Amino acid sequence: MLKQLIHISFKSTHQLMVLFDQALVSGVNFVMAILLARLLGIESFGLYAFGWMLVLFVSSIQLAFIVSPLFTLFPKHQKRMNYLSGVHTIQLCFAIVTFIISFAVVKGVFIYKPEWEIAGVLHSLPLVATLFVLQDFYRRVNFTLKKPLRSLISDGISYGGQPIAILLLHHFDTLSIHHSFLAISALFSASIFYNLPKVKLTFKSLIIKNTITENWSFSKYLVGTALLQWVSGNFFIIVAGGLLGPVAIGAIRIAQNVVGVLHVLFSAMENIIPIKAAEILDQEGTVKTIYYLKKMLFKGGLVTLIILAIIALFRIQIITLFYGIEYLDYVNVLLGFTGLYILVFIGTILGFVIRTFEMNHIFFWSYIITTVFSLFAAEAIITQTGIYGVLIGLFITQFINISFYVIKLNSKLKKLWK
């Protein structure tokens, strides 16, 4: 009995710390968006947000090829620490490639849109993208190893100082997009140095080769999906920026930032549910796994609906309080995002089901459909409806994804709906 109580207490503490850690990260991201929107102005904030899309792009590739396999394969791996050291080596190589590719992409954007070029960003944006994926890798490893305190400390270093750094830059009249990227990079570097000695590296070619093979076998559809997902999810925003200017990107990111409070829940689920579901599947089988996922669907759905209802009801007060009355022109964009995030939550849960049962090809084919739709429809929709065309496009892509997931899961995992 005592052992059971200790186990339950440890489990609750672990999950609470994971949630608190994600609250820290999401809370800082929320505050940073407010500070930068207010202090830089909406046009400069739009350029900053456009640059950060590159960071999110490389992060999505990392999540597909490195983090998702880590979460699913590590709990049931026979040689766990060898696998982890192999993943660590792959991650460092990925970081180097990230800098090179990011530099080329930023240079290309500045050639195509010279009016968007900002002094120093050619180097600072690839740097922050590289350090972001490294820091994020270590926090995910800490979750995998059930070391939430270690993750909390490192995230306290990397994220806790960001608002202070931005306020100091503003105080000394040196705030800019370039200096913001450099300040964030410095904090990420400190967190990386804290975590680096705690995870072993390997230079054994056999371990590295086996790890690459295992990860690729698991994630080959996920990598393609990540590329397609980024295009289908962001192409409307990119087109809006090209047609309507950086202000449109800034307005969209402001709305996303408000509903982004849900990322505390979503990211905590991301760090808990796939690992737990993989463990249940390995130890107790399919029926128990499906029961657990259904339970998470109902619990998480209730919290999501309550938060979105509050945002929708008090959207005017929220925009006024956090961004100022000059941003009230975009209040209906925020209302649209509250509806969109209901679909985002449903898609997130269905994604956990797909990953747990290693049916990742479903993602791939789903995002082929939505990517084709985005590429062909984005310009026409945004030309006709302006900034609201972004919302229309995102609603349609989410609906397509969910419909495809349901059809495929219903045919292969009918027990899920019983």
Tens-place pLDDT, residues 369-400: 998 999 999 899 999 988 899 899 999 999 99
Distance CA 339, CA 214 (A): 38
Looking at the domain assignment, is residue 158 inside a domain? yes
159: which DSSP letter? T
Does pTM top 0.85 for this prediction? no
Per the domain annotation, does 177 fall within a domain? yes
Q: Which domain holds residue 352?
A: 13-417
* DSSP state, residue 199: S
Give the residue-averaged pLDDT of 114-143.
91
pLDDT of residue 9: 44
Query: How confident is the model over 62-95, as pLDDT tens digits?
Result: 988 898 888 888 877 778 788 888 889 999 999 9
Asked if the structure places residue 5 within a domain, the reply is: no
pLDDT of residue 11: 54
Give mean pLDDT, residues 269-295: 79
What are the tens digits of pLDDT across the range 326-348?
788 888 889 999 999 999 999 98
Q: What is the pLDDT of residues 4-33, one digit of tens each?
A: 434 444 455 666 777 788 778 878 988 998
Give the number of domains in the chain.
1
In a domain, 131, yes or no: yes
Residue 3 in domain: no
pLDDT band at residue 2 using 50, 70 and 90 as cut-offs: very low
pLDDT-above-90 percentage for the chain: 31
Do 379 and 242 touch, CB atoms closer than 8 A?
A: no
Structural domain includes residue 326: yes
DSSP 157-206: HHTTTHHHHHHHHHHTT---HHHHHHHHHHHHHHHHHHHGGGS-----HH
